Amino acid sequence: MVASMTAAELRGLLIDCLTLWGIDGRVVAGDAGMEVHTMDGLFVVQQAPADLHPVRWLLQSPPRRAAGRPPRAAPSIGALLSALRNALGAERGVSLRIGGGIT
* Rounded average pLDDT over 3-24: 91
The pTM (predicted TM-score) of the whole model is: 0.81
Could you report how far apart the first and last alpha carbons of the chain are, in Å?
Answer: 48
Q: Which residues pair with 27 in a beta bridge?
A: 36
Residue ranges of domains in the chain: 7-88
Q: Which residues pair with 94 in a beta bridge?
A: none
Mean pLDDT of the chain: 86
Number of alpha helices (DSSP H) and beta strands (DSSP E) in the chain: 3, 5
90 phi, psi to nearest 5 deg: -75, 150
* Rounded average pLDDT over 10-32: 94
